Structure 1
Amino acid sequence: MSTAIFIGFLAFSLLLSLLSKGRHGHGRQSAKDFFVGSRQFSAALVFFLSAGEIYSITTMAGLPGGIYAKGPLYGVWFLGYVLLAYPVGYFMAPRIWELGRRYDATTLPDLFLGYYGSPALEKVVAATAILFLLPWGQLQFTGLIAALKALGWHFDPVLLICFAAVLAFLYVAISGIRGSAYVAVLKDVLMVVAIVAVGVAVALEAGVQPVFDAAGAKFSTTMGAQDLCFTMSTILLQSLGFYVLPFNVQNVFTARSPDTIRRSLIGMPLYMFMFPFLVLASYYAISANLKLGSPNEAFFAAATSLLPEWSLGIIAAAASLSALVVLAGVCLCISTMSTRNLVPNLAESRQKGCACTVIVVYLLLSIVLSLTTSNLMVTLLNTAYNGITQFFPGVIIALFGWRIRKHAVLAGILTGQALALALYFTQPPLFGFSAGLAALLANVAVVVATGWVFQQRLDPVATR
């Protein structure tokens, strides 16, 4: 029964992707519509598309896995950076949209090319963005494997991953970003139902106070200086970096207007009501001493222990779509940067075909990484953020219209990303301080030292 429900929801998601073509399904879909929906998405579609990137398999598997592995306080950073990212995005995202319209931008590298007038900077941003987005695909596959294994589906992981990759490819290939947006609506409904159902089951079966007491007995409930430093510095880094994530920038460009973006962001914090239910599931896995193959299975192990067998099809569908919507969005983002920014003068008629080829290559790389390496999902998330947030100073300079040498911005980005990688591989004692934030500070220092900042605003015509 659960398998039939699972397959039914996945089939419905493909139907939604086909329906998303709508009137655009007649004739050849333009590259702009394929990549950014012709900049005509409503506030509702932008809301679900953006929420699909925020509340993903990381929410269902990564957060509970982090709490299960390292204690209740480890989840504080996740809650904090998401909440802080909303006000940052409320002011930042509409200005990114306006800058994108000025330069007819489709990608983050387009913004750098338009504002700084440097093809070299454009290509460095595109290439390094793709590099640091590699863990994002691995992240989705890792969560998907954990979900389906914990739900008792003992298929070969290679088979599961290949099946997921085909679905993600189809969402994008059918209608581009429109397919992801429509499927995101179904994904959000199922995810909310699944998370609330498991949390309520824990409360009814084990009680709220007992699972909190058990978690508190196993892990310390006080935060030491090093933990506090890690939490605060990571929250700051990721809240700044969230709206320079290349796929979030591309989502911003789908909106009809800046007001559309503001309206979509106002409702985003409402999703936070799911987190108490996730925490309950995590604490139950700790208190019940559930034996897991990996910490990422904590939420799904709680679901398997408490819910009827038929409902596991809904849990599996919610987890799968949570991973696939993000995976499809990242695939589209990487393919857009490859075809528009890395391959010079590619005709629009060839962009969609080349984009599909890039998607296949990216999915294959992500499959290899997920099968050959094993990491806690929050570690993969932090690694990606450490590199991508290095674009933040360059974006802020463009948003405020400051004059600065393009070579200074380029040097800052490369310095920050090189330092982020060096700190990741060498693991020096930073006393809990975020390696990504340390790299970002070095980035800013290089920009200030090598650039010449003028406070007057740029003439929009002169910047073209």
Structure 2
Amino acid sequence: MTTAVFLGFIVFSLYLAIRSKKGHGAQSVHDFFVASRQFGAYLVFFLAAGEIYSIGTMVGFPGGIYAKGPTYGVWFLGYILLAYPLGYFLGPKIWQAGARYNAITLPDLFKGHYGSRALELIVAGSSILFLLPWGQLQFTGLVAALKGLGWEFDPVYLVLISAALAFTYIAISGVRASAYIAILKDILMVVAIVATGVAVGWKAGVGDVFHAASLQVSNQMSDTQLRFSMSTMLFQALGFYVMPFAVQNFFTARSANTIRRTQVAMPLYMLMYPFLVLASYYAISQNLQLASPNEAFFAAAVRLLPDWLLGLVTAGAALSGLLVLAGICLAIGPIVTRNLLPGMPEQRQKQGAKMVIVVYLVLSIAMTLATPNLMLTLINTTYYGVTQFFPGVIVILFSLKVRPMAIALGILSGQGLAIALYAQQADFGGINLGLVSLAVNLLVTVVANYTPRLARVQPA
């Protein structure tokens, strides 16, 4: 029954992808990647939510609490909530900048504002590099979800099937397929999480679960843990909406006001997190022997839910990962064909992007199988690099005059320092290494912008 329900929802998702193409014929590059900037508030809302509340919600959040205790949840919830006010104010400006420069990708914004080929290449190349862990994050979550639900397949087959499905969604109608599937995915995900949380409360008792879990984990945060949580919230909130796929999602909107309307409603999804906490505490209280902390939520679901509902949980988890994979691919494809390979005719950009997407999926699969990681590590790795775009994006959004060489040096300094500090396991009393690197990024940018010798040297 579990498998039948799961396969039924997957087939229905393919139907939705096909249905999304109706009336759009041979799609242009802009329609394939940003829906010709025609999406209304509902589709933008579900598309953006699909990227935010992904497999990490069902796997990473409960897994982090299981592995590191409830203090992990403070960081996870905090950075998302802090990001939403930023999105309300910055999202419409990102849309306006995209319309001004006819942009499809984040590097298009840098190219349009700064007019620097070197800076465009830096943003394009590092976007791809730091999105590799994000793809690995989705595959890791998918493997953990399907194995946690009792599917004892070789991980190689699981990731290959997942990659094939993600590519199929993209090939059918690009971002339109993602938006339609996002509606189904969100319904399944919310039902799965709430049902599991309710089952824990009904069968084990909320008070009993919390009491039993509190005997095994600490609710106290040391000063170091507190500094890490607070600094990580700030750092990742700043990077939340400069993710290349997040920027591209904004470009699909019909207007700047469409963005504002979606951001107002986004926090409603946070109401499902107490149910995730319940599932995590249940796994802790029952002393479940898990192969990986990432299986915590699904271990609770397997023990408490009937087979048919377990199939729904499986489908919600799978679509959560697949949808984000599709979104990442839709961001990386045009970055290569538009920014790394300039001059490619538009009619060839879409086909070339599909080839790039295949290569990206293969690389992400290889990383998943070769270097499995706790999802928290993968999240941090991506943010270390991507958040360094924040100063350059702010300059674009507010039409400031800063030399492209200064922005380029700042980004490279911040990214290089973040990687070096992470490799050396440097400790700044718990302060997030990425935030330290971002401060250096800003310092280098300011110094380079006002240093006469550097000011005369402009990238080609």
Q: TM-score, normalised by structure 2?
A: 0.97
Residue 9 of structure 1 aligns to which amino acid in structure 2? F
Where does residue 22 of structure 1 map in the other structure? 22
Where does residue 130 of structure 1 map in the other structure? 128
Question: What's the secondary structure of 2:311's corresponding residue?
Answer: helix
Where does residue 461 of structure 1 map in the other structure? none
- How far apart are residue 164 of structure 1 and its match? 0.6
Q: Of the candidates 93, 96, 117, which is equivalent to residue 95 of structure 1?
A: 93
Question: What's the secondary structure of 1:97's corresponding residue?
Answer: helix
Residue 106 of structure 2 aligns to which amino acid in structure 1? L
- How far apart are residue 103 of structure 1 and its match? 0.8
Where does residue 412 of structure 1 map in the other structure? 410
Measure, in 1, the Cα distance between the counterparts of 2:86 and 2:342.
34
Farther off after superposition, 426-435 or 268-277: 426-435
Residue 424 of structure 1 aligns to which amino acid in structure 2? Y
Where does residue 387 of structure 1 map in the other structure? 385
Any idea what the Cα deviations from partners look like across 1:322-381, whole Å, max 9, x if unmatched? 000000000110001111100010001101110110010000001111111111111101
Question: What's the secondary structure of 2:343's corresponding residue?
Answer: coil
Any idea what the Cα deviations from partners look like across 1:404-423, whole Å, max 9, x if unmatched? 11100000000000011111
The 5-angstrom pairing of residues 136-285 of structure 1 reads 136-285=134-283
Question: What's the secondary structure of 2:276's corresponding residue?
Answer: helix
Residue 143 of structure 1 aligns to which amino acid in structure 2? G
Q: Does residue 5 of the first structure (1) align with residue 10 of the second (2)?
A: no
Runs of 5+ consecutive residues of structure 1 not aligned to the other structure: 454-464
- How far apart are residue 123 of structure 1 and its match? 0.9
Measure, in 1, the Cα distance between the counterparts of 2:50 and 2:133.
17
The 5-angstrom pairing of residues 293-442 of structure 1 reads 293-442=291-440
Measure, in 2, the Cα distance between the counterparts of 1:323 and 1:86.
22
Question: What's the secondary structure of 2:254's corresponding residue?
Answer: coil
Measure, in 2, the Cα distance between the counterparts of 1:378 and 1:129.
19
- How far apart are residue 310 of structure 1 and its match? 2.2
Measure, in 2, the Cα distance between the counterparts of 1:3 and 1:112.
46
Any idea what the Cα deviations from partners look like across 1:220-279, whole Å, max 9, x if unmatched? 211111000000000001111011000000000000000011111111000011000000
Question: What's the secondary structure of 1:451's corresponding residue?
Answer: helix
Farther off after superposition, 425-434 or 248-257: 425-434
- How far apart are residue 452 of structure 1 and its match? 3.6
Q: Of the candidates 30, 34, 39, which is equivalent to residue 41 of structure 1?
A: 39
- How far apart are residue 106 of structure 1 and its match? 0.8
Where does residue 57 of structure 1 map in the other structure? 55
- How far apart are residue 399 of structure 1 and its match? 1.3
8 Å CA contact 1:412–1:444 kept in 2: the answer is yes
Measure, in 2, the Cα distance between the counterparts of 1:275 and 1:13.
25
Where does residue 458 of structure 2 map in the other structure? none
Measure, in 1, the Cα distance between the counterparts of 2:49 and 2:400.
31
8 Å CA contact 1:285–1:299 kept in 2: the answer is yes
8 Å CA contact 1:338–1:355 kept in 2: the answer is yes
Number of matched pairs: 451
Measure, in 2, the Cα distance between the counterparts of 1:155 and 1:259.
46
- How far apart are residue 214 of structure 1 and its match? 2.1
Where does residue 81 of structure 1 map in the other structure? 79
Where does residue 445 of structure 1 map in the other structure? 443
Where does residue 462 of structure 1 map in the other structure? none
- How far apart are residue 186 of structure 1 and its match? 0.3
Any idea what the Cα deviations from partners look like across 1:56-81, whole Å, max 9, x if unmatched? 00000000000000101111111001
Any idea what the Cα deviations from partners look like across 1:271-301, whole Å, max 9, x if unmatched? 0110000000000000001111100000000
Residue 17 of structure 1 aligns to which amino acid in structure 2? A
Measure, in 2, the Cα distance between the counterparts of 1:298 and 1:53.
22
Question: % of aligned pairs identical?
Answer: 63
- How far apart are residue 190 of structure 1 and its match? 0.1
Residue 318 of structure 1 aligns to which amino acid in structure 2? G
8 Å CA contact 1:72–1:215 kept in 2: the answer is no
Measure, in 2, the Cα distance between the counterparts of 1:239 and 1:143.
22
Farther off after superposition, 215-224 or 119-128: 215-224
8 Å CA contact 1:405–1:452 kept in 2: the answer is no
Where does residue 288 of structure 1 map in the other structure? 286
Measure, in 1, the Cα distance between the counterparts of 2:66 and 2:111.
44
The runs of at least 4 aligned residues of structure 1 exceeding 4 Å deviation read none
Measure, in 2, the Cα distance between the counterparts of 1:82 and 1:22.
35
Measure, in 1, the Cα distance between the counterparts of 2:66 and 2:270.
20
Measure, in 1, the Cα distance between the counterparts of 2:59 and 2:425.
25
Residue 7 of structure 2 aligns to which amino acid in structure 1? I
8 Å CA contact 1:94–1:259 kept in 2: the answer is yes
- How far apart are residue 447 of structure 1 and its match? 0.6
Q: Over aligned residue pairs, what C-alpha RMSD do you find? A: 0.9
Measure, in 2, the Cα distance between the counterparts of 1:86 and 1:339.
31
Q: TM-score, normalised by structure 1?
A: 0.96
8 Å CA contact 1:66–1:295 kept in 2: the answer is yes
8 Å CA contact 1:403–1:452 kept in 2: the answer is no
Any idea what the Cα deviations from partners look like across 1:111-160, whole Å, max 9, x if unmatched? 10111110110111000010000001100010001111111111111111
Farther off after superposition, 216-225 or 180-189: 216-225
Where does residue 458 of structure 1 map in the other structure? none
Runs of 5+ consecutive residues of structure 2 not aligned to the other structure: 452-460
Residue 157 of structure 1 aligns to which amino acid in structure 2? P
